[in-house]
Amino acid sequence: MKQNTARLNPITRLAATLLLVVFNLTAAVAATPIGTPVYPAFSKLQTVELVGGSPGNVSWTAPKAGTYQLWVQIPASSSSTNAIYNVYPKGNAVGNTSCSSTDPTYPCFQVTVDQTMATNGWVQLMLNNLASTRWVFTKTGLVSTNASGIPNSQQLGVGEVVFASYTASKLTLGQSYQGGKIAYIDSTGKHGLIAAPYDQTGAYPNDIQWYNGSYITTGAIGTAIGTGQANTTAIVTAQGPGSYAAKLCDDLVLNGYSDWYLPSKDELNQLYLNQAVVGGFAYYIYWSSSEGDYGSAWGQAFGYGGQNGINKFSTLAVRAVRAF
């Protein structure tokens, strides 16, 4: 690919660079992008080169909403060993400079790339060093970078950006996917439950209570598949800050995802039925988020599968889930 290495003024060319890219990262290097290239609208821009220590910022938005791998071309002149990309899959509010992966409205993932390892080459932007990373972006999703955090003796450069289009293959139980293992797939074949890859608690003394120290009704009465998130929200709203099963899942940030929750009674049963392919379970009793009454909630024994109402002060194991 022919590359123009003339320096861009990061301020005067900012408007032009606002129509490009988005994603989440850790770098893998290749000679050319892997997959079917889908170029943003202005893929033939001059190379962006920012001098270390400068406040100049450049941003790229997704060409359209979709699921992709993302590849960035690193110019030969790049010498930054600490190029930081802020990735906003759902976009970002004007004037917001914070970057937090747990922000419910504008989650942001900050990734460092050593550009000296890929000069005149391509870097795949990944999560947790997984080359299988696929990112789902809204049409306002973006990635930005600036040179304020690198020495003024270095130069940060970005050439072309390529989206590699991704067509979802058939999902299977036990498949590693979006932060964990698929534990349930609905009749559409496209949606279901992902279990965290390991327990959030274990057996005594590492297990945890359902209640937060007092017996109250929380309104977490859902038992069906699809009700666990609402249950968890109801429990945390009613019980507030503390150390208990639903709060443990609600606070969990794992493998780039922060929307984990305590499964409902029927969701927990799916984890039990598919525990062999999901893995990591033991012969403990696990909490669900389904409340029985003010003093009890549903738990399930993973040794024999029985579900019973259990006193909320009991300490049981927990495995968080998230929906996809």
- Tell me the pLDDT tens digit for each residue of 147-201: 988 999 999 888 777 767 665 567 899 999 889 999 999 988 889 999 999 999 9
- Report residue 266 as tokens: 């029927």
* 226 and 88 housed in the same domain: no
Instruction: Return the pLDDT at 16.
Output: 26
Please give the Cα distance from 205 to 208 (Å, whole number): 8
Please give the Cα distance from 52 to 150 (Å, whole number): 5
* 159 and 182 housed in the same domain: no
Residue matched to tokens 């979709």: 66
8 belongs to a structural domain: no
Q: Are 160 and 70 in contact (CB under 8 A)?
A: no
* 138 and 191 housed in the same domain: no
Among the candidates 103, 136, 165, a domain finishes at 165
171 belongs to a structural domain: no
Instruction: Tally the domains of the chain.
Output: 2
- H or E segment at 316? strand 315-316
Residue 297's domain spans which residues?
A: 176-323
6 belongs to a structural domain: no
* 56 and 150 housed in the same domain: yes
* 213 and 74 housed in the same domain: no
What are the 10-residue block averages of pLDDT along the chain, 324 residues in total?
32 27 40 59 63 85 80 86 87 89 88 84 78 80 86 87 67 91 91 95 84 97 97 98 97 92 98 96 95 97 95 97 95
* 148 and 63 housed in the same domain: yes
The CATH code of the domain that includes 67 is 2.60.120
pTM of the full structure: 0.55
Among the candidates 112, 135, 165, a domain finishes at 165
Tally the C-alpha atoms within 13 A of residue 99's C-alpha that lie toward its C-beta: 15
245 belongs to a structural domain: yes
* 133 and 258 housed in the same domain: no
* 151 and 27 housed in the same domain: yes
Residue matched to tokens 């996809």: 324
Instruction: Return the pLDDT at 26.
Output: 43
Cβ neighbours around 42 below 10 Å, total: 15
Residue matched to tokens 């992966």: 101
